[in-house]
Structure 1
């Protein structure tokens, strides 16, 4: 009777999340650890048992090939005879795994089953030994290493077997936030080994500090990140640890980074006269704001050059915060010997008086602030009886004020062009003012005379009183003829990403978040428009509220640059963490005002609790 042919299985590496490499790097696991009954930590499906599998530890990103590929021919025959007696367990086969490495975007590895008729062992081996181009550099800093999510069960499978006697071991784990320490002890041969999931910097796990820096420098919220970690069952440290990292390392690094960036911007601006734009942002509207941040920006380069944070109890109320912020910003510019031509702001009365009488600085008004005030009043007038016709002229009057500011060179010319709109709405295009004798548009004969206003009608009288009021004419004289503060308003919207008004921050925390927003804006204010693969510019549809259903298109920008985050991370690990004393000394020089609650006596907590009464839980009658 003929002996049946035995199909010997061919060994191939299991599906993993990175391609294997024929290189060896430093690891805390010895080569004897990778022996039978040890499964891969990076596998997504189970496969027939084999003598060895690839392993990926927290300090390495390589996958080692089977012992079958590196053994002698005699050893291979012995391994094949042992495997012939084992019936493979049928499992779903992963056909394709994607490589999640930046340098290998779009590449993938095809894993074929040994039972497939088209399976070729030589092709499988060549695929396993293919060079991916991702070289592990042992000298790479800790904060630049790739990190992965590893499940506890998959990780502890690496420590089930003693690498010396190949018998079962006892494993004990210990966690410190995101840090995991595994202690492996063999009761048979007294083998002991300790494995750490992260490098330690002076006793501090690198992952804990790196996570704190990443959350803070990106303007994130610790409590939101904590909720995400809790949902994923990822280990996380407590909030007091996060605040400890922030006070000792992160906030001093942010302040140092901003000061050095600010000095570099000032040096570049000394080569040319700057045109400044200033405005204040309050953490809440009205006279109840606690913090007010004053922004000073160079409108030519659209870069924030100074930020001042004022607390309301420093100046006697939130109404005085804008003037104080302006004074402090001008003091910083004078300390850097920075010269400028003029400053563009809104129409704050205190700012007007200070720049006119004390500072003696050329002052212009932003056009958008004046146009917004006029538009609101025109909308209210158009709701009156016999004034509905004014709603049709609202858009034209908005365009007219921008054209007046951009096309005029003297205050008299601005006023003449602005008041010419009153003749224009009456279908009169010649004017008595010699500074602007007639309209510049070509004369046209209109058959529809209903679109023009009539003199002495209520609509025209309301419009004339609004556009020729004493305050409006004085403001039109000082309209900015070149640059506006729209970039400052755009920066204020960026602050909301780092310091939302719904959240409360201490003074130093609010200041650091303002600096982060400024560095983010300065790096991304000149982003280019994104293009398709064919080079065509990309747009997206928008439906703003003020358009009342009208669709507009907006250009799609290229992805934001976050170089400042990498710089802060490097600064914390390389300079601040080893010796935080000089950086903390700079933070202590910042004058931090007392909190608003410190102005009032603090009552005893028991007294306050005893006075608590709820309408849903009344006391005894």
Structure 2
């Protein structure tokens, strides 16, 4: 014998839930079923899902979208709805047809039936039925549903089978066409072009509402084929008849206009959100290429081989100049201010300086002098110097160091010492400013290696060549393990 719902007057046999194990919650269930606790009752009593509210289920959205077969109750869920005749969205056995639009990004329409009068929210006029009411079984997005039809003429199932979806257009609007502007793709693609405002009736939250709180750059992206995408818009979600589809594309952006000529249903769907008139997906793709150092033209070849839509190089450069590069400068300035603030509070600041130049031929035109906090291994400042403003590439390093020191003094940073190379102008400049200078170990090792190579060329000193690697290692060990001048000299001479 099938089990039935224990609530008086219900007696349903589907979507039953057993009594919970928690004694407090179980006592509330018993009070709801029997009003007063009886002296004897069955421990196998069941309550169907129609007596619970939406927030009592863990997978309500998945169940409405068709991704779950049964509803799962929360541990502390308590039934509160006594009248089983009240139509609830949580009840799998409620009266009337149940729509599950899995493929369409919209909520199911509200349907009202009074006698022989049928009214849809999207229909302005009302039609009085003169014939018998007929039920048509069909499929919407792969889910079997039952739709009541009441028309002034008899309706046959063959009329819907013979009516094929309207022939859809190919993506003809490309980025390179001059006759189509980006603003015409989606009515300037601003906030006014929100697909949620084009839907005629929205009554329940969809699966997409679970992810609305997620940031756009953290949202997961997928590769969608054109045929699979347009299949979602061939059928009207209201009257389930053929619709007119108009796709438009620009770069990675796609907008689809869906219009039903029968019930005047219309909506506009966009593949990605927009900020003003800029698609967020295009901007994120440009940022990924720019920040990772990838080549735009190599990535474009990958896109073309897969027939993926992509914007032009001019769009990529516009994104870089208008958004990405200002963002990098803003981020650099903010972190630089925080670093300098910490250096001003420190008592002992040790920095290192080095010039890096781009040398086309034998003379460098531009050079960047970088200063670094050696205690935290963080870049403090970068100064760009051009050779013609200092009278030659030989004087660029001194000019870059001078600008960095003046900027640090203006910020209030007190230097303890500085580590540089053995440039003669740098030595003289720092001596005049009374700044303690130390040489970089790499430059000392480089100069020592050149002298050892010259000595090893002599026939009587050829054995020195076998000791070059050990001598260089001993030099690095002396500099790294010593804390005072006398200790360094003693360790170096100990070899």
Is TM-score (shorter-chain normalized) higher than 0.5? yes
* 1:264 Cα deviation from its structure 2 partner: 0.7
Q: Highest relative contact order (Cα 8 Å, sep 6+), 1 or 2?
A: 1
| Counterpart pick for 1:297 among 361, 372, 383 | 372
| Counterpart pick for 1:328 among 388, 399, 403 | 403
* 1:259 Cα deviation from its structure 2 partner: 0.7
TM-score of the superposition, structure 1-length normalised? Answer: 0.45
- For the pair 1:242 / 2:242, whether they are aligned, the reply is no
* 1:383 Cα deviation from its structure 2 partner: 4.2
Deviations 1:532-587 (A, max 9, x none): xxxxxxxxxxxxxxxxxxxxxxxxxxxxxxxxxxxxxxxxxxxxxxxxxxxxxxxx
| Kept after mapping to 1: 8 A contact 2:273/2:279 | yes
Distance change (3 Å), C-alpha of 1:231 and 1:319 = farther
- For the pair 1:343 / 2:411, whether they are aligned, the reply is no
* 1:223 Cα deviation from its structure 2 partner: 2.8
Determine the C-alpha separation between the residues in 1 that align with 2:393 and 2:304: 40
Deviations 1:55-109 (A, max 9, x none): xxxxxxxxxxx557xx99xxxxxxxxx9xxxxxxxxxxxxxxxxxxxxxxxxxxx
- For the pair 1:252 / 2:326, whether they are aligned, the reply is yes
* 1:189 Cα deviation from its structure 2 partner: 4.6
Distance change (3 Å), C-alpha of 1:167 and 1:407 = closer
State the match for 1:371 in structure 2.
445
* 1:282 Cα deviation from its structure 2 partner: 2.1
| Kept after mapping to 1: 8 A contact 2:140/2:237 | no
* 1:241 Cα deviation from its structure 2 partner: 1.8
Determine the C-alpha separation between the residues in 2 that align with 1:287 and 1:21: 69
| Kept after mapping to 1: 8 A contact 2:141/2:232 | no
Distance change (3 Å), C-alpha of 1:313 and 1:28 = farther
In the alignment, structure 1 segments of 5+ residues that lack a partner are 1-19, 33-49, 55-65, 73-81, 83-133, 425-621
- For the pair 1:139 / 2:190, whether they are aligned, the reply is no
Pick the structure with greater CA Rg.
2
| Kept after mapping to 1: 8 A contact 2:140/2:240 | no
What's the Cα RMSD here? 3.4
Determine the C-alpha separation between the residues in 2 that align with 1:347 and 1:294: 15
Instruction: Give runs of aligned pairs for residues 242-281 of structure 1, distance below 5 A.
Output: 242-272=316-346, 273-281=348-356
Determine the C-alpha separation between the residues in 2 that align with 1:201 and 1:288: 46
- For the pair 1:389 / 2:389, whether they are aligned, the reply is no
Determine the C-alpha separation between the residues in 1 that align with 2:450 and 2:209: 62
| Counterpart pick for 1:31 among 103, 108, 123 | 108
| Kept after mapping to 2: 8 A contact 1:287/1:318 | no
4+ residue segments displaced more than 6 Å = 23-27
Distance change (3 Å), C-alpha of 1:350 and 1:194 = same
| Kept after mapping to 1: 8 A contact 2:247/2:254 | yes
Deviations 1:430-449 (A, max 9, x none): xxxxxxxxxxxxxxxxxxxx
* 1:229 Cα deviation from its structure 2 partner: 2.3
Determine the C-alpha separation between the residues in 2 that align with 1:234 and 1:187: 32
Deviations 1:259-279 (A, max 9, x none): 111111111222322110111
State the match for 1:535 in structure 2.
none
Instruction: Give runs of aligned pairs for residues 213-612 of structure 1, distance below 5 A.
Output: 213-272=287-346, 273-284=348-359, 287-357=362-432, 359-406=433-480, 414=488, 418=492, 420=493
Determine the C-alpha separation between the residues in 1 that align with 2:299 and 2:258: 32
Distance change (3 Å), C-alpha of 1:254 and 1:386 = same
* 1:361 Cα deviation from its structure 2 partner: 0.6
